[in-house]
Amino acid sequence: MASPANLILNGGRAALVAAVVVMAATPWLFSATHVVLLTEFMSMLVLAIMWNLLAGYADIVTVGQHAYVGVGAYAFFGFAALWGVNPYLSILLAGIVAFAIAVPTMLLVFRLRTAYLAIGTWVVAELLMLAAGKLSAWGGGSGTSVPISIILYFGRARDVRLATIYWLAFGLAASAMSVTYFLLRSRIGIGLTAMRDNEEGAAAIGVNITFARILCFLGTAPFLGMAGAIITLQKLRVAPPASFSITDWTVLIIFNVVIGGIGSFEGPIIGTIVYFVLRQYLADLGAWHLIILGTVSIAVILIEKRGLWGLVRRLLGDDLIPIAHKPSAMLTKQHTG
Amino acid sequence: MLELASLSRAFGGLVVINRVDFKVDAGEIVGILGPNGAGKTTLFNLIGGVLPPSSGRILFEGKDITAMRPWHRCRLGIGRTYQIPKPFTHMSVFENVLAAAMHGGNMTLTSAKAEAERVLARVGLAHRARLPAGRLGLLDMKQLELAKAVALRPRLLLLDEIAGGLTEAECDVLLGTIRELHGSGITIVWIEHVIQALRRVVTRLAVLSGGSFIAAGRPDQVLADRRVKEAYIGT
């Protein structure tokens, strides 16, 4: 069937492959300004993929995602700047610390459901931010800069350094996407997708809801923590309100995922692209860009609950990135005759 | 196979299931009749583990499952359809059944795919396999609900008003499927309003009224019972 929808889908897939190749080669192709911008894009993409997995599939609507970004930032600073650990290793360790914080948090917030859970995650994030402000070695409430020696470790020349940090962000985004892809294709992922559509129905066909939730909550934390470390490398500072920014690492991410399409693999990617495009054009408007973004996300959700991708998918009838399992061609042919 | 011992469930002060003792033997098709609000669906919610009982115990094949979560009960072999179907609306019909075969049926992806195709062909939904489940009509939705439950490979199947809203011809098809399932060794408990459908397949009929069983036995005997007529038919 070479229907127009199929042509568009295949065109989209080809464009996607091309985009991945271009993204992998970004530092050789684009100017420093764009490399910096795309590094930020990759970090935001990781956060969006993780929030979508939690809120879109596992029904954990967290508004405390910034907690793990901040913990990752502070852990990275601690290991690399205070305790002299290898900076690359420190990024990994930031992920592990975020995971370690997620375990007790989970025990606490999993006692709550829906809106209470959302508030619970938020409270935990605020507490962690306040606690971070008490760490004098990290500059207390006003924060501190990343030592120059650590920055130079990623490359003495500016171009090299920017490229290295970009590839770190690209690598994290690529692994976040691959992990999510294989997760969603797996047995557990099929269960998660069922949970997304009907939780009680999913439990009734044997999907272990509790296990799926725990897996998502604990599995996203290291990615968020490592993203926090990479964001710190870009901002070159840790400070409680910036490292634990609810606006940047949670609210904006929610807008992006909602606009792009919650509960789909494509949604967070599309949403993050839309955000960066809008931001480029709306940058002069200052705080207005947040208002406009919020308005757009409300408008999108009113038209199609499953965002821009939900709209497009209805027309195309298939996923851009094939997550779903399909029956053999024989089954449908046999019976439609 | 299934045993309910002094099972009760109250919502606030309202007792919906009142000290129910009930046994289902392997190989039976038990029909449960009852007027609206008799507690039929609540009974299934207790057996399925969606609701915890206020008191009493539930045993499945001799094992106490009272505190077990729904998915564990499902994997033990208790399958269930819902009166109001619970399809995974944005997944294809095929994936709905696949999910059931992989989780409750505990199959690998390859065997679950084969099973899903087999079950869909069996309930007559093969031609809809690629359609999002949310786009199905009522009959197809009910067939999907049944297909999902069958793909779990249950030993005990709970059917909740699966014939409601079907035409006579559709109902005949459904009865055929249910007989076939029973023939393959599945024990069935079926809640239904459509008495004529029930009495054609069940080996035993029980009547629930006001949260307790008021009669149980051979279908013709139970339907002739005076209390049943009063409670159910309202004369």
Average predicted confidence (pLDDT) for chain A: 92
Q: Please tell me the predicted confidence (pLDDT) of residue A337.
A: 37
Name the residue in chain A with its Cα closest to that of B149: A205
Q: Please tell me the predicted confidence (pLDDT) of residue B110.
A: 94
Which has the minimum average pLDDT: A145-159, A243-257, B218-232?
B218-232
Q: What is the DSSP letter of A82?
A: I
Domain boundaries, chain A: 4-336
Highest-confidence segment of A40-44, B118-122, B158-162: A40-44
CA A223 from centre of chain: 8
Question: Judging by DSSP bridges, how do beta strands B2-11 and B78-80 pair with one another?
Answer: unpaired
Enumerate chain A positions whose Cβ falls within 8 A of a Cβ in B: 187, 190-191, 193-194, 196-198, 200-210, 263, 306, 324-328, 331-332, 334-336
**Is B121 in Cβ contact with A203 (below 8 Å)?**
no
- pLDDT for A15-45, tens place per residue? 999 999 999 999 999 999 999 999 999 999 9
Structure tokens at A321: 């990135």
**Is B48 in Cβ contact with A204 (below 8 Å)?**
yes
Name the residue in chain B with its Cα closest to that of A189: B99
Residue A220 Cα, gap to closest chain B Cα (Å): 23
Q: How many CB pairs under 8 A join A and B?
A: 119
Residue A328 Cα, gap to closest chain B Cα (Å): 8
List CB contacts of A179: < 8 A, sequence separation 6 or more.
Answer: A219, A223
Q: Can you name the residues that pair with B189 across neighbouring β-strands?
A: B30, B158
Residue range B2-77+154-233 forms a domain whose CATH class is: alpha beta
Distance CA B188, CA A65 (A): 46
Among A206, A334, A336, select the one facing B103 at the smallest CB separation. A206
Among B70, B98, B126, select the one facing A334 at the smallest CB separation. B126
Collect all residues of chain A within an 8 Å Cβ-Cβ radius of residue B98. 190, 325
CATH number, domain A4-336, options 1.10.1060, 3.40.1580, 2.40.128, 1.10.3470 = 1.10.3470
Q: Can you name the residues that pair with B22 across neighbouring β-strands?
A: B4
Res. A294: pLDDT tops 90: no
Give the best residue of B51, B75, B84, B88 to mutate against chain A (max A CB count within 10 A).
B88
Q: Please tell me the predicted confidence (pLDDT) of residue A52.
A: 97
Among B82, B102, B152, select the one facing A190 at the smallest CB separation. B102
**Is B127 in Cβ contact with A194 (below 8 Å)?**
no
Residue closest to A65 by CA, chosen among A125, A130, A132: A125
Identity of residue A137: A
ipTM: 0.90
Res. B37: pLDDT tops 90: no
